[in-house]
Amino acid sequence: MNILGLEMSGYFDEDINSQLQVLSPTGLKYVDSMPLAQRLENFGEIFRRNIGGLVLSDDLSPPKELLGLAQKRQMPVLSTPL
């Protein structure tokens, strides 16, 4: 499991393939501050790495563009109250 942080800015140092990725409230707030094109590019790169799925903490709702990319890749997106 990996908490998305630097990856959301486009920096990938570690191999995140096959791992569940967690997006926290702080991460989502950062994502919401990005221009749409940058969000699409960064989420696209995350999904191209064949992650195990995306989990949004604190009952967060995923952005529409994230759901669109996830559906194209048949990638699970889950939300949890934890």
Instruction: Find the radius of gyration of the CA atoms of the chain.
Output: 11
φ, ψ of residue 75 to 5 degrees: the values are: -105, 130
For the whole model, what pTM was predicted?
Answer: 0.84
**Segment 52-65, tens digit of pLDDT:** 999 999 999 998 88
**Segment 36-47, tens digit of pLDDT:** 999 999 999 888
Q: How far apart are CA 17 and CA 48, in angstroms?
A: 9
CB of 54 within 8 A of CB of 31?
A: no
**Segment 5-31, tens digit of pLDDT:** 888 888 887 777 888 999 999 999 999
